[in-house]
């Protein structure tokens, strides 16, 4: 009998183990260590595992529901590749001077994909909720794209208006993230 691989369980276990190891390393370093380069790298590696496990977990929940599977799978792949890339940077297999843009872009893509995947778990037939959900996904995408453009331009040559516009879309992103689940809850209570 063929069993399906459980992405959600894998990301959860990885996150729990990595955060526990991070805590132990942190406690050891603060109590007994000198917080040297190796301890710093170990701590950053386990925190990276925890962070990317969290983004992968968010995507895996949507994947498990068999909704928007392409987006969910893409988010999991981005999380895995982002983790591997970040670990290579931490352990200096890749030079940070040449790779900081890719490092930040992986973080932006993993976080925004995970964010979208969590919101896409909302299931409703109410057009107001679906409209708020769609608008919020668009705002998440715009913020991610604007951040990536900012990184590729090395935070230069964009002007003040660009930052103002980024702020507006970030506010709309946060607003939609808060309002959409509340709207969904209000409609589910009424009916």
**Closest to 55 in 3D by CA, of 107, 111, 109:** 111
- The secondary structure of 43-97 as a DSSP string is HHHHHHHHHHHHHHHHHHHHHHTTSSHHHHHHHHHHHHHHHHHHHHHHTTSS-HH
Four-CA torsion 14, 16, 17, 19, nearest 10 degrees: 110
9 touches 53 (CB < 8 A): no
Residue 110 confidence (pLDDT) above 90: yes
Average pLDDT over residues 114-140: 96
All structural domains of the chain with their residue ranges = 1-99, 122-191
pLDDT band at 49 (very low <50, low <70, confident <90, very high): confident
């Amino acid at each position: 009998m063929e069993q399906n691989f459980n992405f959600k369980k894998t990301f959860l276990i990885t996150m729990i183990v990595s955060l526990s190891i991070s805590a132990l390393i942190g406690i050891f370093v603060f109590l007994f260590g000198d917080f040297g380069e190796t301890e710093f790298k170990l701590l950053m590696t386990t925190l990276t595992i925890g962070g990317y496990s969290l983004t992968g977990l968010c995507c895996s929940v949507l994947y498990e529901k068999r909704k928007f599977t392409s987006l969910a799978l893409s988010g999991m792949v981005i999380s895995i590749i982002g983790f591997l890339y970040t670990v290579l940077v931490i352990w200096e297999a890749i030079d940070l001077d040449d790779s900081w843009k890719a490092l930040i872009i992986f973080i932006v893509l993993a976080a925004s994909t995970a964010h979208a995947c969590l919101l896409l778990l909302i299931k409703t037939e109410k057009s107001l909720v679906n409209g708020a959900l769609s608008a919020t996904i668009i705002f998440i995408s715009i913020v991610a794209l604007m951040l990536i453009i900012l990184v590729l331009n090395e935070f230069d040559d964009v002007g003040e208006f660009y930052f103002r516009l980024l702020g507006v879309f970030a506010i709309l992103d946060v607003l939609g993230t808060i309002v959409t689940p509340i709207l969904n809850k209000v409609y589910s209570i009424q009916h």
